[in-house]
Structure 1
Amino acid sequence: MAITIRAAQASDSQEIALVSEHLGYTSLSPEESHANLIALLDSPVDKVFVAQIGGRIVGWIHVFFARRLASNSFYEIGGLVVLPDTRGQGVGRMLVQHALAHQLGQYRVRCNESRKEAHTFYESIGFKRSKVQHVFGAVSDNK
């Protein structure tokens, strides 16, 4: 079956949200998911591509340009999800290759340490493990 890769459109937000659930991204309402997609589509530094099989979205990738002050800037894969029933068919590889072909430069991706399959996938397509880091979160309350 043919896999098609194309730029995401605002009308894809619901299908993208359904695909996203397969990696545990379920905390956003349909309205929030749509608003997030619109913001990314309107952004000059973000790109979102979808993979389709038979007109059905089976995966997506989000890539953004990460500008840095004291080091080289790079592109980062902010998310990559492929439906479980289509994994192993080259969908993820095609999405990454499409992104790399459209945004030339250095790429990075961050993976949760528990996602061993993702580590294996990225290494299989030429990404090299460069470091382990901790991610800290905080909420700013500007009242």
Structure 2
Amino acid sequence: MAMTITAPMPTHWHAIRALIHEWGYEADEAQVQAWVEALNASSLHAIWVAISDGEVCGWLVAEQRIALGAGQICEITGLVVGARFRRLGVGQHLIKTAEHWAQQRQLSQVLVRSNITRVESHVFYPSMGFSLKKTSHVYEKALTLPA
């Protein structure tokens, strides 16, 4: 399958939103626009979309961060490939793009977290050279923002 990996354009926001929904999260187009613009403006983040035949078939977000004990690393904070594009190399191309970005920044490793319920990813990431390091609990607390 021929594909291009590129930075997202405003014409991609609707498809990015659809993939966010497929991932199991809610977002409206205004939120997606704000998030993508913030990622594009950040020197510590990158976002790419995979395009095949003019259609967005996946996206990946990477973040440069400092981890005590590991130093400067790259964390993949989101990777979604549309259901009908899986097992066609889309995820592999997006991961390789993120790895290249990390290498250019002299980052020592790439880290990715995957929900235990995402069984397909537990085969995919090891096939890309990732090794399972630990299983974690994730705690979340919503904050009330000042008016």
Asked if structure 2 preserves the Cα contact closer than 8 Å seen for 1:3 and 1:52, the reply is yes
Q: What's 2:112 paired with? A: 109
> TM-score if structure 2 supplies the norm length?
0.89
1:115-130 map, 5 Å: 115-130=118-133
Unpaired segments of 5 or more residues in structure 1?
none
> TM-score if structure 1 supplies the norm length?
0.91
Identity of aligned residues (%): 32
Q: What's 1:135 paired with? A: 138
Q: Provide Cα deviations, 1:51-83, integer angstroms capped at 9, x if missing partner.
A: 011111100000001223554231100111111
Distance 2:80 2:88 in 1: 13
1:2-21 map, 5 Å: 2-21=2-21
Matched residue type, 1:88: R
Q: What's 2:64 paired with? A: 65
Q: Given the alignment of the two structures, is residue 22 of structure 1 paired with residue 25 of structure 2, yes or no?
A: no
Distance 1:100 1:70 in 2: 20
Moved more, 9-18 or 86-95: 9-18
Distance 2:111 2:64 in 1: 10
The CA RMSD over aligned residues, in Å, is: 1.6
Matched residue type, 1:139: A
- Pairwise CA distance, 1:20: 2.0
Distance 1:85 1:57 in 2: 12
